Homo-oligomer: A and B are copies of this chain.
Amino acid sequence: MSKIRVVVAGYGNVGRGVIAALKNNPDMECAGIVSRNPDRVKKTVSDLPVMQIADTDAWISALQPDVAILCGGSKDDLPAQGPALCGKVNTVDSFDNHSRIPEYFHAMDAAATASGHVAVISTGWDPGIFSLERVLGNAFLPGSRAYGFYGLGEAGGLSMGHSDALRTIPGVKDARQYTHAIPEAIEKVRRGENPQFAPGDMHTRVCFVVLEDGADPEKIAAAIRTMPGYFAPYQTEVNFVSQEYLDEKCSGFPHDGLVVAAGVTGKGNPATVEYRCQWGSNPEATANVMVAHARAAVRLANEKRSGAFTILDIPASYFSLASKEELLAKFM
């Protein structure tokens, strides 16, 4: 059987993770990389074709992808790139701006339906696996609410978005932000209280900040703690550190999370369902999940399906390399 040919669109942390993940999936191969800046990519990649992402027809013709995995960001890249590309090739992306998912879904659905392609959107672990677990928790325990917590481990979870926000503050040279779940909040949910939480009731934020020469730490700490949306609603700890400390102690991308729903069955028997994931590398986790969705996208396309899909629209068997008989015998 010929391998599924995957083009990786965008060569950041997630794109590199996708290339690594494809090597662990024997039914797939990387057909090439497309990037806004092929020359930069070619400096580190010599064993794969690298082409200009804007030359869509050229790379589709040259690389013959069954599916393109879009590794761009949700803010600037995907809103334009996604609908343009899924009009020409099957796509998988990790669009993760939760509040804009309905709008993005409909834009992708219109473009993919019109061209007869499959666009699997918003894959990864949240949105993605966590979305699935929220739906299952609610379906199997009607009336329960599913809560998401992040950064349960000692180190917390690195938030790229909040780290970026810190770096926008004048006087901040570099920074990382770790999210920590509040254990008491998790216990409230596990006890079946279905509590109403403000964001600050569930998580705290710990910042490691490198200052520019001459910057005023007190002023910057105040600017961080009062930043609307990002930090103001949370208990926020600000640590000023050296660039060496940041490079040494905060270099990875660890993250982890928990979906938990608690309710009752029958006449009041307690019931709790939880999904927990821990990732040494957040972008590689997203990449692994995207690759399994690329397999599903190709299967859907082979069935002559088209339009936009999320993880909620796809049977689990489509993500798996195992055959129907293997699934029945070994996984059920």
Residues of A within 8 A of B (CB): 16-17, 20-21, 24-25, 98, 101-102, 105, 122, 127, 129, 131-136, 138-143, 252, 264-267, 269-281, 284-285, 287-289, 292, 295, 310-317, 319-322, 325, 327-329, 331-332
Contact = CB atoms under 8 A, between A and B. Distances in A.
A315 to B, nearest CB: 5
Given A275-B274, A332-B98, A135 B317 contact: yes
Contacts of A317: 135, 312-313
Given A135-B331, A271-B280, A17 B266 contact: yes
Contacts of A278: 270-273
Given A25-B142, A313-B317, 20 more contacts: A17-B265, A20-B267, A102-B328, A129-B136, A135-B320, A138-B322, A141-B288, A265-B288, A266-B281, A269-B280, A271-B284, A273-B277, A274-B274, A310-B327, A312-B315, A312-B316, A312-B320, A312-B332, A313-B315, A315-B315
B332 A310 contact: yes
Given A320-B138, A322-B138, A143 B24 contact: yes
B269 A281 contact: yes
A325 to B, nearest CB: 7
A265 B18 CA distance: 10
Contacts of A264: 280
A129 B21 CA distance: 26
9 contacts: A102-B325, A132-B316, A136-B316, A138-B322, A264-B280, A271-B281, A273-B278, A311-B316, A314-B315
Given A136-B129, A267-B20, A278-B271, A312 B284 contact: no
A140 to B, nearest CB: 5
Contact of A140 (B265, B292, B310, B328): B292
B140 A24 contact: no
Contacts of A136: 129, 132, 316, 319
Contact of A273 (B276, B325, B327): B276
